Amino acid sequence: MRYAMAIDTKKCVGCSDCVVACQLENNVPIGYCRDWIVETTSGTYPNLELENRSERCHHCANAPCVRCCPTGASHIAEGGVVLVTPDECIGCGACIASCPYDARYPHPDGYVDKCTFCIHKVRKGEDPACVQVCPTNCLYFGDLDDPNSEVSRKIKERKYKRLKTEAGTDPQLYFLI
Amino acid sequence: MEEEIIISGRMNYKVDPGLHIWGWEIAFYLFVGGLAAGLLFFASYYYLQGKEKEFPAAIKWAPMLAPVMLALGLGALFLDLHHKLYFWRLYTNIRLTSPMSWGAWTLMVVTPLSILWSASWVREVFPNWDWKFKFLYDLEAFFIKYRKVMAWIMVFYSVILGIYTGILLSAFNARPLWNTSILGPLFLASGLSAGAAVIISFTKNELERKLFSKIDLVIIGIELFLVIHLFMGLMASTAVQIEAAELFLGGKYTLPFWIFVVFLGMIVPAILEFLELRGQKIPVIIPVALILMGNIMLRFIIVYAGQASRYLY
C-alpha cells in the first residue's frame, strides 16, 4: 500500500477551501495550517503563466524528518503516511529544520504537528477532508499500489511534476500539469 | 526577464516567512559543547601522555570548567525544546540515523565523566577542599585509581562531542548551507582552538603556555583551510548551495562572518600568538578573548544563516 495524492493544477482555483476544511477537521490552532495554497506566476510579460497548487506534507518515501527524529515520534505508518506521535515528541525542531517543504510547525501545545493525510478518516474508508470538500474536484487521494485507484489512473493519464525531488526525498504529492 | 513570483498562503509560527526554529539556545550550546570537548580532549590526551606535572592547567584546572559548560549547554538545550516535559523520551530510544540521538547519548557519557574527572582532581587544585563524608573520600580514591580508564573513554568521546556539534547541522539536507560534511571537522577544530585558548589563559607555566599557543596556531591554520574548503565546496555544488554560499560572499552575513569570525576570531589572534611566541609582550587575555568571541560568532552565524538557506521551488 502506498498512499499518495494528485493535485490537478489546471483545475485548482486557489479558493483555500482545502485549508479551511483541514483546520476544522483536525482542530488546527488559529493562525496555523497543515495545508496551504501556493500561487506562482512565471514567464516574461505578457506571456505569463499562472499555477495554483494546494500543498501539504509530501509524505516522502525517503523522509528526512523521520531520519532526523531523535525519539522515533516521527514515524512512517501504514501506506507510507508520515505521522508524529505527540506523546513521544520532545519538540526539538530537528524534523522542522530537516523538511525541505517546511510542511511542519511547532504546535502551541509543544509537539510538532503536520498533515496526516487524515489517516483517521482514511482508516474508515473515507477521503481526507481537503479532498472531500474541494469544489473543483482537483484533489485525488488513493493507493498507488492499486493500478485502478483514481490517483494511479490520473498519474498514468496526465503529465505531472513533483516538487524539490533534488532534495532526495521521493515526495508523494503529484502535481498534474 | 524570465521570473517566477511565488505567493504562499502559509504563515506558520517559526516557519514562515523564513525558518526560525532554532535560536540562541542551539548556537550557545554548540559553543559550550565545542569548548568542553576541547578542554576534555586536551586533559585526557596529555594525561595519557603522562604529562601531569608539566601541564597542570590542561589536565587539572581547565577541565573543571567543562562540567559547568556542559550544564549550561544542557540547560540551553532544555530551554529550546517545545515539549519540555517529554525530554526523557531522548533516553528511551537509540536512533542510529538521528545525529541528535547520538548527541544526547554522547552527552549522557561525557557529562558525568567530566564531573568525575574534575572531582578526582579537586583536592589538588583546591588544597582546602573537604569532602565532609568518608564515603566520598573512598569514591574519590576509586576514581583516582581508574583515571586512566576515564581518560581513554574521554579522549574518544570528547572528539565525538566536538564533531557531533557540526554533524547535527550537516544532517539536514533541507538547509543547503549546513548540508556539508566540512561542518563537523570545522566545529571540532574550532572547539579545540577554544579549549587551547582557555588553557593558555589558565596556565602559569611558561612551557605549557608556549605549547598551547603553538597548538592553537596550528588549529587556526586548519580552521582557515576548512573555511576556504567550505566555500569552495558550496560554490562548486548545485544552485541552492551556491545561493547559500552567497549569503557570505556579498549577502547579509558577509561582514559579520569575515570580520568577526575569520579576521578578529582567527587571523588577529593567530598573529598575536605568533608575535608572543617570538618574544613580544602581549597580554594573553587579548588573543584568548578574540578566539572565544570568534567561536561564539561562528556558531551563531552558521545556525542563523543555515536557516536562511533553503531549497527553491
- A38, A68, A109 ranked by CB distance to B100: nearest: A68
Distances (CA, A) of A146 to A2, A4, A143, B166: 9, 11, 6, 43
Can you list the residues of chain B whose pLDDT is less than 50?
A: none
SS3 of chain A: helix, strand, coil, percent, to 5: 25, 25, 50
Across-strand partners of A142? Answer: A4
Across-strand partners of A43? Answer: A48, B3
Task: Determine the residue among B3, B21, B93, B242 to mutate to test chain A binding: the one whose Cβ has the most chain A Cβ atoms within 10 Å.
Answer: B21
SS3 of chain B: helix, strand, coil, percent, to 5: 75, 0, 25
- What integer is the mean pLDDT of A92-106? 95
* CATH code: domain of residue B164: 1.20.1630.10
Q: How many domains does chain A have?
A: 1
Across-strand partners of A160? Answer: A176
CB atoms within 10 A of CB B308: 17
User: In sequence order, what DSSP letters do the residues of A29-83 get, joined into one string?
Assistant: PTT--SSEEEEEEEEETTEEEEEEEEE-----TT-HHHHH-SSS-EEE-GGG-EE
Task: Determine the residue among A37, A53, A102 to mutate to test chain B binding: the one whose Cβ has the most chain B Cβ atoms within 10 Å.
Answer: A102
Summarised one tens digit per residue, pLDDT across range A16-32 is: 999 999 999 999 999 99
User: What is the model's pLDDT at position B1?
Assistant: 55
Q: Which residue range forms the structural domain that includes residue B33?
A: 24-308
Q: Is residue B53 part of a domain?
A: yes
DSSP classification of residue B266 = I
Q: Is residue B219 part of a domain?
A: yes
- Asked whether the beta carbons of residue B21 and residue A96 sit closer than 8 angstroms, the reply is yes
Q: Is residue B19 part of a domain?
A: no
User: In sequence order, what DSSP letters do the residues of A6-34 get, joined into one string?
Assistant: EEETTT-----HHHHHHHHHTTPPTT--S
Residue contacts between A and B (CB atoms, under 8 Å): 159
Cβ-Cβ contacts under 8 Å, A70 against chain B: 90, 93, 95, 98, 100-101, 104
Q: Is residue B110 part of a domain?
A: yes
Q: Is residue B78 part of a domain?
A: yes
User: What is the model's pLDDT at position B2?
Assistant: 65
Q: Is residue B40 part of a domain?
A: yes
User: What is the model's pLDDT at position B256?
Assistant: 96
Residue corresponding to grid cell 576570531: B265
Which grid coordinates are listed for A101?
517543504
User: What is the model's pLDDT at position B216?
Assistant: 95
Distances (CA, A) of B233 to A121, B178, B255: 47, 12, 21
Q: Which residue range forms the structural domain that includes residue A46?
A: 3-176
User: What is the model's pLDDT at position B4?
Assistant: 82
Q: How much is the ipTM here?
A: 0.91
- How far A172 CA lies from chain B's nearest CA (Å)? 16
Summarised one tens digit per residue, pLDDT across range A50-88 is: 999 999 999 999 999 999 999 999 999 999 999 999 999
* CATH code: domain of residue A125: 3.30.70.20
CB atoms within 10 A of CB A82: 25
Q: Is residue B9 part of a domain?
A: no
**Contact at 8 Å (CB) between A35 and A29?**
no
Helix, coil or strand: residue A101: coil
Q: How many domains does chain B have?
A: 1
DSSP classification of residue A163 = S
Q: Is residue B4 part of a domain?
A: no
How many residues are given for chain A?
177
